[in-house]
Amino acid sequence: MNLALLLPAGLAALAALLLPLLIHLARRSEQRITDFAALRWLAAKPRPRRKRRFDERLLLLLRLLLLAALALLLARPVLYGNPDRTPWIVAVPEVGAAPLRDAAGTGSARLHWLAPGFPALEEAPPTGKQPVASLLRELDATLPAGTPLTVLVPTVIDGADAQRPRLSRHVEWRVVPSTPTPPTTVAATAIPEVMVRHAPGDVPALRYLRAAGAAWRAATPAADGGSKATTSSPIVIAPASQALDARTRNLIWLVPGALPAHVRDWIRDGGHALLAADIKAPELAKSTPLWRDDAGDPLVRGAPLGRGRIMQLTRGLSPDAMPQLLEADFPEHLRALFSDPAPAPARVAASAYAPTAGAPPWPETPRPLAPWLVALVALLFAFERWFASSPRRGAAP
């Protein structure tokens, strides 16, 4: 077990130990000589010089200890070594308490739920999906190196990420047979509603946008198994003079020139806008490609703007500049620009998700001594005040 100081500069406060010494030396000034009339005629004899000494030594010692404890508290002492090696057994709340108690047997293992905060078994099990991989990494970083760890998981883990956990220790991975939960139903991607604002006059690109909207509607099945009606297009086209619909999050802006301020504010409030290639938008100076052609050249670039996203075509919306307008997958590419990304899969078979070992060990977590020092300071202060104000002492320094 080793003692270390996280802030050694705090020991500079030990210089305050001079204060009690000076106070006790200056206490001699409180002793005043009083002349008596009957002794005034006696011959004055030289008094022997008194050696400097410290009065009230116990009080002085208490004050010195109090200041030393305060200086040590400022230096933030911690203890390394002799960690707690008690085995840990954790379980995903879906497993239940009974398998967790059976796994402990008659041993002295610590039983906890694999949930935020790692509550003890005696507490109510948390509800909801738990981030199993993140919790395992957090627990691995918290436990001392060499502490045995056993993890109980159900047959199917609902809370996995895209990578098997890699920990710094070997984990005993136990799959507890459980009733499989039905898979979460993933709703079909809704058709995005897009408003188009264009400059006055005939814009040839509008015909391709109308065709893309019709393709979206035709490719989405209705709830009864048939196909949805194509009378109302999800792409609503209007001139730039018409105000933006606050209920729609998606916009295609085909007005040349600088991007108007009200459109920029609409994007910052959470809108997604696709701009024509001839529109000036300084916000796209650090954009990233969102759609590439077969040669790898970007067709659309985008960047976040406030709570929204701003995108821009790199070519004009004409077959000569952008042959992709005539391809069958153009509606799907355009739809992907305005669709929210699908959630990452989180369900995996527990038998295939066992953590691997080999990660670098985490540094040992020191045990702070501050709580004990605070208690010692309070105790020394109480003794010092009691002794300094004691009536049996006489005058206090």
Q: Per residue in 160-208, pLDDT tens? A: 877 888 999 899 999 988 755 555 554 455 788 999 999 887 678 899 9
Instruction: Give the pLDDT band of residue 38 (cuts 50, 70, 90).
Output: low
- Assigned token pair, 178: 């459980």
Q: Which residue has the higher pLDDT, 37 or 236?
A: 236
Q: Which residue has the higher pLDDT, 194 or 80?
A: 194
Flag whether pLDDT at 64 surpasses 70.
yes
pLDDT at 332: 92
**Phi-psi region for residue 257, left (φ > 0), alpha (ψ -120 to 50) or beta?**
left
Instruction: Give the pLDDT band of residue 45 (cuts 50, 70, 90).
Output: low
pLDDT at 17: 78
**If you ran DSSP here, which 8-state letter would residue 68 be given?**
H
Average pLDDT over residues 137-165: 86
pLDDT at 22: 79
Place of tokens 């620009």: 337
Strands 257-258 and 235-239: unpaired
Instruction: Give the pLDDT band of residue 152 (cuts 50, 70, 90).
Output: very high
CA distances to 9, 91, 279, 329 from 297, in Å: 58, 49, 20, 17
Asked whether 253 and 199 are in contact (CB, 8 A), the reply is no
Place of tokens 């206090």: 396
* Average pLDDT of every residue of the chain: 82
Average pLDDT over residues 340-357: 79
pTM of the model: 0.47
pLDDT at 227: 47
Asked whether 216 and 191 are in contact (CB, 8 A), the reply is yes
Closest listed residue to residue 335, CA positions, set 188, 198, 232, 223: 188
DSSP one-letter string for 169-225: S-EEEEEPP-PPPPPPPPPPPPPPPEEEEE-SS--TTHHHHHHHHHHHHHHSBPTTS
Q: Helices 330-338 and 206-219: crossing angle, nearest 10°?
A: 80
Over the stretch 263-275, which tens digit does the pLDDT of each residue have?
A: 999 999 999 999 9
Asked whether 218 and 165 are in contact (CB, 8 A), the reply is no
**Phi-psi region for residue 306, left (φ > 0), alpha (ψ -120 to 50) or beta?**
left
Say how far apart CA 388 and CA 366 lie, in whole Å.
37
- Assigned token pair, 161: 């990420």
**Phi-psi region for residue 206, left (φ > 0), alpha (ψ -120 to 50) or beta?**
alpha
